[in-house]
Structure 1
Amino acid sequence: MLKAGLLLLALFIGLALLVQLKKLQSFDEGIAQKIFKTRSKSKTQLMLFFTALGRPRGFIVIIFLLAFVPGFRTSVLLPAGIALGFVWVSAYLLKRLIKRPRPKGQRLVEERDHSFPSYHATCSSTLFCCVALGGSSLYPLLTGLFMAISLVMAGMIGYSRIYLGIHYLSDVLGGWFLGTGFALILQWFLTTNSIL
């Protein structure tokens, strides 16, 4: 768990450097154009739903519901709360340090702050990594289910940001690397020190 978390944070740093040096701009714009061509009215409604889940109100609802699952308050929500606080502040500071402008044109919603890393991708990957790890430790027979749900939820929230025209692929990947990397390291620390 520790090695995987450190690897993801190293990938995040490498990606951040490439973004800062503007080495991924053409690639990111090309991917975005391909995704825009798949837009439809029904798909847009679905993407708006997933983007709303990645906002603070959506997280509050998800966390409220998770609190009713037996054992999740300690095994999932405790590490998720610590991790979310850390990655939110980290993403906030990194956005102001890197100052990558958001994509222009073809936006279906508006955002005001900088683009890299995506808050939605960072926070959703953090929360759902904690759900997958904590849920699997509590209910080992449901490991596959927890992993699948977590991947789909974090994946769709991140994808929705590109689809809606307000993030690049590298913004979302950066968020996933940062959020998942920190969640893995925190989970390793809490487990190793018998806190969980």
Structure 2
Amino acid sequence: MKHFERQLEEVKNCRLCEQYLPLGPRPVFSIHPSSKILIVGQAPGTKVHATGIPWNDPSGDELRRWLDIDRETFYDASIFGIMPMGFCYPGKGKGGDLPPRPECAPQWHDLLKKWMPEIELVLLIGAYAQNYYLGKEKKKSLRETVKNYQEYLPEFFPLVHPSPRNRRWMKTNPWFEDEVLPILKIKVEEIIKKST
């Protein structure tokens, strides 16, 4: 466990792209050697940066609704590992937050995943996570990738980002709520039941 704690400290003290971060570095993630489901999102927003708690915002509330779990379960690192594509708040762009810093995932993801040998399912939330993990296997659009989620099981489950900004997407793609979320809830429930 000492080596694991040392690894966590190394990531928490990362200054790799400090010069590009308007609020300074504050890596936000949560992992445990017993994590069963890994959530790979984009990057923290300002609220998450301020609290240091991943998914502690309206997007997190929506994600927990999708998964049909409470906050206590969500923040149990022995069940859910949380590892964004960019660990720190990247700053504001024209249409919202900037993309996750590109240095982060290549630097830390493989290293941290080695500490989570019991991962059964990886939730790929948004295009950045899907591009990185699915590569050429992803479809031409995020919509098509998510619609064809069965092709990536049992390892990956691609999802749209649960941001309030995507409410319009949800309305124009009712199949997501009707067909995809019920399967997601079943998969998550099965894994949680096995681990408790």
TM-score, normalised to structure 1, is: 0.31
TM-score, normalised to structure 2, is: 0.31
